[in-house]
Amino acid sequence: MASPRLTRLRPLLVLALFLAAWWLAPVAVRSFSRASFSLFEAPGLIAYSHLKDLQDFWSLRDRSQGSLIAAGRDLQRHANDTDLQLQQDAATRTENQRLAELLLLPPEPGFHYEVARVILREETAWWQQIVIRKGWRNGIGNGQGVVFSGGVAGRVKQADEFTSIVELVSSPSFRVAANLGQDPNPAIYQGVVTAPFHAPAGEVRQLPLSLRIAPGTRLRLFSSKLSSVFPDGLPLGEIERLEPGSDGLFQTGVVKLDSRLASLEEVAVLVPDITPTLGNGSNPVPTGNPPGLR
Residues near other proteins (CB under 8 A) are 7-8, 10-12, 14-15, 18-19, 22, 30-31, 33-34, 37-38, 40-41, 44, 48, 120-127, 129, 131, 157-158, 165, 167, 172-173, 192-198, 200, 262-263
Distance, CA of 270 to chain centre: 9
Q: Whole-number minimum distance, CB 158 to other proteins, in Å?
A: 8
For residue 111, the cross-strand partners are 272
Nearer to other proteins, 34 or 77 (CB): 34
- β 151-159/164-168 pair status: antiparallel
- Cβ partners under 8 Å of residue 46, min gap 6: 119, 133, 162, 163
Nearer to other proteins, 158 or 287 (CB): 158
Q: Whole-number minimum distance, CB 259 to other proteins, in Å?
A: 10
Nearer to other proteins, 114 or 160 (CB): 160
- β 128-132/111-123 pair status: antiparallel
Nearer to other proteins, 2 or 84 (CB): 2
Question: CA end-to-end span of the chain, whole Å?
Answer: 68
Q: Whole-number minimum distance, CB 56 to other proteins, in Å?
A: 14
Q: Whole-number minimum distance, CB 185 to other proteins, in Å?
A: 25
- Type of residue found at 157: K
Q: Whole-number minimum distance, CB 276 to other proteins, in Å?
A: 31
Nearer to other proteins, 52 or 220 (CB): 52
Q: Whole-number minimum distance, CB 204 to other proteins, in Å?
A: 15
Dist CA 275 CA 107 (whole Å): 10
- Tally Cβ neighbours within 10 Å of residue 51: 10
- Tally Cβ neighbours within 10 Å of residue 230: 26
Nearer to other proteins, 28 or 104 (CB): 28
Residues 263, 205: contact at Cβ < 8 Å?
Answer: no
Q: Whole-number minimum distance, CB 30 to other proteins, in Å?
A: 4
Closest C-alpha among 224, 183, 174 to residue 201: 174
Nearer to other proteins, 278 or 293 (CB): 293
Q: Whole-number minimum distance, CB 111 to other proteins, in Å?
A: 24
Nearer to other proteins, 145 or 286 (CB): 145
